[in-house]
């Protein structure tokens, strides 16, 4: 009897321990999942305690009279969300995500990187490196590779040394590198001492391509428009209205009383890609209200009443609006080089259409100018005088795009990979692919001739997964070229976007956030991988909250 009682007691203890262990594991997994959600929203570590407190308040009200309500509330109270626990969870999740990335780096066939540098809220220069990998099935993945703090100077050799040290430590397979995309800073693209120059001079790096971010090039091209006679007074008027709180309040009340289209003016920020177009459009829409406001203060409004200046303002609004539209087309995660080159070529073709339209003194493609002409009967004569000026501006912009976007060799390769059955000289195609991607021209030419006469492949040439149908051994050359094209970055958009996330995470209220915690937080915030919660929970000693 005593033996039976002892066994029953021991079984009861083991059952209770198992229940406690399962409860603790659930609380730990909940802690990881809640932390992952909060960091994805770029919240501070200390916000976890606030969330937990709010959660317990809700639970105590909603669950106290429910069956097992006390147990549920007890389980919630065991979830660790204090700042130190969240920091540990973020570090563990970051490590897990990096492990998944390392596994993909081994599996991928080729990859490209994009690099950019910016300063955080504590004046530390941070170098962001993103990677785009292409796999055997031609699928791609874009991920944050690393965030590297530059403690002192940010010269080309500093960036190179940091990146090379990281590659060596992580054993990154450099032989798979295809393209490095950067902004146009001298530290990055300097001919002799830039980051790219150092990499090209390093025998550990393969022969790789280098491209200047297409979005940055587009923004630089836009500067040739000029129109300082419009921008200078325009910015002066906006800054004057915003300069004094009382004056700004009165202006907003006036807009409300006049039932204006917008409730306020926007401020112009030169470094923001889409700033000028939006500010100009808002200003032009509120031009009548601005004129009345300045008149009520006894200020000079002769410029705002000048028909030619108003037409110039409208034209500048239209052309920057078109540049903004192009900019939006170039932005976004997952944008391929095919998409970006197509958008740029379409814009250049549109510039020719706009130019021809203005040469005939028509305003089909400039709606703001059209609106000014419609509202002001005397503006037609003035437009006839300035149409030639607008025509020259459009031509100058188009020419700048032609000169700056020197992607002819890449474009021909991308065009062929996008449409491999296109008419043309197979020898020329083979030579271009081989020169761009370090392939054997004779082998590639034979492969092109072979697959272009393959009736089975011809039947599926419109399939979205067309290149997956190829035998990668039989067509190793063209498949390699197709994979390398799929791996290309066309811009540093991911870096620019991540810098916004970085500044949100390490803001003026969190300047003491360490580089390690910043890196871990940013990795968790921007990664498209999902943490392996089972592995994370099993790797930790499960214990209830203090």
Q: What is the 3-state secondary structure (H, E, C) of 220-260?
A: HHHHHHCCHHHHHHHHHHHHHHHHCHHHHHHHHHHHHHCCC
Query: Domain check: are 433 and 318 in the same one?
Result: no
- Answer yes or no: is 502 within a domain: no
pLDDT in tens, 75-128: 888 888 999 999 999 999 999 999 999 999 999 999 999 999 999 989 899 999
- Work out the pLDDT band at 2, boundaries 50, 70, 90: low
- Answer yes or no: is 451 within a domain: yes
Last residue of some domain: 486, 517, 538?
Answer: 486
User: DSSP characters for 462-522?
Assistant: T-TTGGGGS-TTTTHHHHHHHHHHHT-----HHHHHHHHHHHHHS-TT-TT--HHHHHHHH
Lowest-confidence range among 135-139, 357-361, 436-440?
Answer: 357-361
Q: What is the pLDDT of residue 543?
A: 45
Last residue of some domain: 39, 57, 87?
Answer: 87
- Answer yes or no: is 528 within a domain: no
Q: What is the pLDDT of residue 108?
A: 94
Query: Domain check: are 364 and 412 in the same one?
Result: no
| φ, ψ (nearest 5 deg) of residue 153 | -85, 165
Lowest-confidence range among 7-16, 151-160, 509-518?
Answer: 7-16
Containing structural domain, residue 73: 2-87
Do residues 489 and 105 touch, judged by C-beta distance below 8 A?
no
Q: How far is Cα 27 from Cα 80, in angstroms, rounded to an integer?
A: 7
- Work out the pLDDT band at 546, boundaries 50, 70, 90: very low
Query: Domain check: are 225 and 362 in the same one?
Result: yes
Q: How far is Cα 180 from Cα 167, in angstroms, rounded to an integer?
A: 14
Query: Domain check: are 259 and 237 in the same one?
Result: yes
- Answer yes or no: is 65 within a domain: yes
Q: How far is Cα 429 from Cα 426, in angstroms, rounded to an integer?
A: 5
- Answer yes or no: is 384 within a domain: yes
Residue 370 pLDDT > 50: yes
Q: What is the pTM of this model?
A: 0.86
Percent of the chain scoring above 90 in pLDDT = 40
- Work out the pLDDT band at 495, boundaries 50, 70, 90: very high
| φ, ψ (nearest 5 deg) of residue 498 | -70, -30
pLDDT in tens, 437-453: 999 999 999 999 999 99
Kindly report the average pLDDT of the chain as a whole number.
87
Lowest-confidence range among 8-17, 56-65, 239-248, 435-444?
Answer: 8-17
Domain count, the chain: 3
Query: Domain check: are 264 and 374 in the same one?
Result: yes
- The average pLDDT across 465-473 equals 88
Q: How far is Cα 315 from Cα 377, in angstroms, rounded to an integer?
A: 17
- Work out the pLDDT band at 464, boundaries 50, 70, 90: confident
Query: Domain check: are 412 and 396 in the same one?
Result: no
- Answer yes or no: is 312 within a domain: yes
Q: What is the pLDDT of residue 505?
A: 94
- For 92, the token pair is 């563990």
Residue 54 pLDDT > 60: yes
- Answer yes or no: is 397 within a domain: yes
pLDDT in tens, 301-325: 888 888 889 999 999 999 988 988 8
Q: What is the pLDDT of residue 197?
A: 93
Query: Domain check: are 345 and 428 in the same one?
Result: no
Q: What is the pLDDT of residue 159?
A: 94
Query: Domain check: are 384 and 295 in the same one?
Result: yes
Query: Domain check: are 361 and 442 in the same one?
Result: no
pLDDT in tens, 250-284: 888 888 888 888 888 777 665 555 567 788 888 88
pLDDT in tens, 392-432: 889 888 888 888 776 677 888 888 998 898 888 889 999 99
Place of tokens 């807009």: 255
Residue 544 pLDDT > 50: no
519: nearest Cα among 120, 228, 133, 69: 120
- The average pLDDT across 451-469 equals 87
- Work out the pLDDT band at 57, boundaries 50, 70, 90: very high
- The average pLDDT across 190-213 equals 90
Q: Which residues of 483-506 are buried (b: 16+ CB within 10 A; e: fewer)?
A: bbbbbbbbbbbbbbbbbebbbebb
Last residue of some domain: 370, 404, 438?
Answer: 404
Percent of the chain scoring above 70 in pLDDT = 94
Query: Domain check: are 467 and 371 in the same one?
Result: no
- Answer yes or no: is 179 within a domain: no
The top-scoring range by mean pLDDT among 2-16, 146-160, 234-248, 375-389 is: 146-160
Query: Domain check: are 427 and 309 in the same one?
Result: no
Lowest-confidence range among 29-33, 169-173, 204-208, 265-269?
Answer: 265-269
Q: What is the pLDDT of residue 13?
A: 65
| φ, ψ (nearest 5 deg) of residue 227 | 60, 40
Q: What is the pLDDT of residue 243?
A: 86
Query: Domain check: are 6 and 79 in the same one?
Result: yes
Q: For residue 542, what are the CA distances in angstroms to 68, 198, 271?
A: 22, 48, 48
């Amino acid at each position: 009897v005593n033996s039976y009682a002892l066994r029953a007691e021991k079984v009861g203890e083991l059952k209770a321990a198992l229940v406690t262990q399962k409860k603790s594991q659930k609380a730990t997994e909940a802690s990881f999942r809640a932390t992952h959600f909060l960091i994805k929203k770029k919240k501070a570590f200390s916000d976890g305690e606030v969330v937990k407190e709010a959660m317990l308040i809700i639970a105590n009200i909603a669950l106290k009279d429910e069956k097992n309500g006390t147990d549920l509330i007890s389980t919630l109270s065991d979830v660790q969300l204090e700042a130190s626990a969240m920091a540990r969870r973020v570090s563990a999740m970051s490590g897990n995500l990096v492990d998944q990335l390392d596994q993909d780096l081994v599996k991928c066939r080729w990859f490209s990187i994009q690099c950019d540098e910016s300063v955080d809220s504590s004046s530390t220069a941070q170098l962001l490196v993103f990677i785009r990998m292409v796999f055997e099935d031609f699928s791609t993945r874009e991920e944050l590779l690393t965030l590297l703090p530059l403690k002192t100077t940010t010269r080309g050799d500093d960036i190179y040394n940091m990146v090379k040290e990281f590659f060596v430590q992580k054993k990154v397979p450099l032989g798979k590198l295809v393209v490095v995309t950067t902004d146009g800073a001298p530290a990055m693209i300097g001919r002799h001492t830039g980051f790219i120059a150092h990499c090209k001079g390093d025998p550990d790096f393969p022969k790789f391509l280098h491209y200047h971010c297409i979005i940055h090039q587009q923004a630089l091209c836009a500067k040739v428009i000029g129109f300082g006679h419009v921008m200078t007074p325009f910015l002066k008027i906006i800054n004057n209205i915003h300069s004094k709180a009382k004056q700004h309040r009165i202006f907003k009340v006036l807009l409300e009383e006049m039932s204006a289209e917008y409730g306020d003016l926007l401020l112009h920020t030169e470094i923001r890609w889409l700033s000028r177009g939006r500010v100009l459009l808002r200003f032009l829409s509120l031009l009548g209200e601005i004129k009345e406001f300045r008149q009520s203060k006894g200020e000079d409004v002769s410029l705002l009443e000048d028909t030619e200046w108003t037409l110039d303002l409208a034209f500048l609004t239209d052309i920057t609006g078109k540049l903004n539209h192009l900019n939006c087309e170039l932005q976004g995660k997952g944008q391929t080089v095919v998409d970006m080159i197509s958008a740029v070529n379409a814009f250049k073709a549109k510039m020719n259409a706009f130019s021809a339209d203005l040469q005939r003194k028509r305003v089909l493609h400039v709606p703001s100018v059209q609106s000014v002409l419609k509202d002001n009967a005397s503006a037609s004569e003035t437009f006839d005088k300035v149409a030639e000026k607008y025509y020259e501006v459009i031509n100058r912009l188009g020419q700048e795009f032609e000169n700056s976007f020197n992607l002819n060799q890449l474009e021909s390769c991308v065009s062929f990979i996008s449409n491999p059955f296109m008419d043309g000289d197979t020898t020329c195609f083979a030579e271009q692919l081989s020169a761009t991607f370090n392939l054997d021209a004779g082998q590639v030419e034979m492969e092109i001739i072979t697959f272009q006469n393959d009736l089975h492949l011809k039947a599926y040439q419109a399939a979205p997964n067309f290149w997956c149908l190829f035998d990668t051994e039989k067509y190793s050359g063209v498949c390699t070229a197709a994979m390398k094209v799929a791996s290309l970055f066309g811009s540093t958009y991911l870096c620019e976007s991540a810098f916004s996330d970085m500044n949100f995470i390490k803001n003026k209220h969190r300047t003491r956030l360490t580089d390690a915690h910043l890196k871990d937080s940013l990795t968790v915030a921007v990664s498209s991988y999902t943490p392996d919660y089972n592995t994370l929970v099993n790797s930790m000693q499960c214990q209830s909250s203090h």
